[in-house]
Amino acid sequence: MNNAKYDIVLYGATGFTGRQAADYMDRHAPDGLRWAIAGRNPTTLGAVAQGLSRHAGIIVADSSEPSTVDAMVASTRVLLTTAGPYSLCGEPLVAVCARAGVDYVDITGEVPFIRRMIDRYHEVALASRARIIPACGFDSIPSDIGTLLLVHALYESGQACVEAKAFFDGKGGFTGGTLATALHNAGKEDVALIKDPFLLNPHDRRPADGANDRDLDRAIEDKDLGAWAGPFFMAPVNTRIVRRSAALADEYGTPYGDGFRYWEAMGPTNPIVAAGLAFGMAWLEVLGRSRRARDLAARLGPAPGHGPSEKVMDGGFMHVRLFGRGTDGKKVECDFASTGDPGNRVTVKMVCESAMALILDRDRLPGAPTRGGVLTPATGLGLVLVERLRSAGMRIETRPSTS
């Protein structure tokens, strides 16, 4: 690691999520951890800094101005960015971090962007030992780390994991930045890429037949869940991350299991709601292709920099139930739960704890000290992150399945 002025720099600190992340770091970063906030507007950055109880450095940087990105990355050991859309402003940060050997975390759910970062910078980061870890929020830590826990539980009982599945329940709101990102990407040709269930896998580690790995598009009744479930709108993101984790684990000699399969859904619910989810997902895809529908959504939704109220965010919750099946039929399950709005409170906690794990627990991370590349939460942070999230108040429990 470099001898930088800061341990962590938070880029995008003036946005809705960035301000929450600054507040989390202010309240939870241990004494002695050196961190700074960064963004384009020095006046707004100063206002954010004044709202903090402890001193944080201020860095003026703009992802469209290479010299400022170079200086920002040179000043830190870890770059945490909440500034999206990542397809617009993420690549310059990844590129400089990968070359400089600086670790990187973000909260993107833009899988075509992640694919491009893999193609362009995985080998660069591998050589510099930079851990480039996208999707460190609600997308996709519960799916990815929850599946890792199932794999470990089965491994400890002498079995490999052949199937894992997750069911999501929760309540919360969404930000103007999230809406802007979704609308920006909905009109792009990249939408077709998302249909590939193995989009993020290394090119030489793709199953010959991925027919059984298509995203759920109908209502189902699941015996393990004991209820109905329907399509989950973040499955096209989370499943690709989990499958990349499984493929990388195979490269590292810690395979999940031959023919490993992962899928996820929204539930538990009833058959009417599950059918409604399937209908709604189909129409969202159709409307997303319409410029007029996207313009209307932009006018009616929150503007960038705005989001749900404190009451909505504090009153939200997330509960993910994961089930795993081993080679000899043994079943395990995992509860991954937290209070707070998943897209804001929970995401902020996850990405900040991910960044701090890279600094405070680096020697215990999977593959330490030599691992680098465009990784996933499971392959870059692993069970160390579970410890941190539990200490931060999340309920993460693994047990034999009763189903």
List CB contacts of 30: < 8 A, sequence separation 6 or more. Answer: 356, 360
Assigned domain for 385 exists: no
- DSSP designation for 190: G
Specify whether 67 is located in the same domain as 165. Answer: no
Q: How confident is the model at residue 95 (pLDDT cuts 50, 70, 90)?
A: very high
Query: Is there a single domain that holds both residue 214 and residue 261?
Result: yes
Whether residue 184 sits in one domain with residue 115: no
Q: Are 157 and 330 in contact (CB under 8 A)?
A: yes
| Pair 14, 95 in one domain | yes
Average per-residue pLDDT for the chain? 91
Same domain, 130 and 145: no
Separation between Cα atoms, residue 54 and residue 379, nearest integer Å: 33
* Separation of CA 232 from chain center: 15
339 with 352, same domain: the answer is no
**CA 43, 44, 46 angle in degrees (round to 5)?**
65
pLDDT the model gives residue 321: 98
Domain containing residue 31: 6-137+346-380
The 10s digit of each residue's pLDDT in 46-93 is 999 999 999 999 999 999 999 999 999 999 999 999 998 999 999 999
Q: What phi and psi values does residue 396 have, to the nearest 5 degrees?
A: -130, 105
Report the C-alpha gap between 363 and 249 in whole angstroms: 19
- Give tens-digit pLDDT for 343-399: 999 999 999 999 999 999 999 999 999 999 999 999 999 999 999 999 999 999 999
Closest CA to 108 of 39, 193, 35, 12: 12
Distance CA 221, CA 213 (A): 18
- pLDDT of res. 134: 98
Mean pLDDT of 207-226: 87
In Å, how far are 142, 150, 164, 402 from 154, measured between CA atoms?
A: 18, 6, 11, 15
**Mean pLDDT, rounded, for 143-151:** 98
Percentage of the residues of the chain whose pLDDT score is greater than 90? 80
Give yes or no for a contact between 61 and 69, defined as CB atoms under 8 angstroms apart: yes
pTM: 0.94
Q: What is the pLDDT averaged over residues 21-45?
A: 97
Least confident interval from 190-204, 276-290, 355-369:
276-290
Longest CA–CA separation in the chain, Å: 61
Note whether residue 1 is domain-resident: no
Clarify whether residues 128 and 227 are in a common domain. Answer: no
SS3 (DSSP) at 72:
helix
| Residue 192 pLDDT greater than 80, yes or no | no
pLDDT, mean of residues 177-187: 55
Do 70 and 93 have their domain in common?
yes
Query: In this structure, are residues 394 and 337 in contact, taking their beta carbons and an 8 Å threshold?
Result: yes
Q: Among 103-112, 158-167, 210-219, 224-233, which is the least confidently predicted range?
A: 210-219
Q: Are strands 131-133 and 103-106 parallel, antiparallel or unpaired?
A: parallel
Mean pLDDT, range 87-104, rounded to an integer: 97
Whether 97 and 195 map to the same domain: the answer is: no
Number of domains composing the chain: 2
Predicted pLDDT of residue 238? 97
Judge if 256 and 355 occupy the same domain: no
Q: What is the mean pLDDT of residues 310-334?
A: 95
CATH of the domain at 99: 3.40.50.720
Inside any domain, residue 223: yes
Rounded Cα distance between 81 and 92, Å, is: 12
In a shared domain, residues 113 and 205 = no
Asked whether residue 13 is domain-assigned, the answer is yes
157 and 33 in a common domain: no
For residue 372, which amino acid is it?
Answer: G
Cβ-based neighbour number of residue 373 at 10 Å? 24
pLDDT at 175: 64
**Residue 274, token pair as written in the block:** 């599950």
Q: What is the pLDDT of residues 112-124, one digit of tens each?
A: 999 999 999 999 9
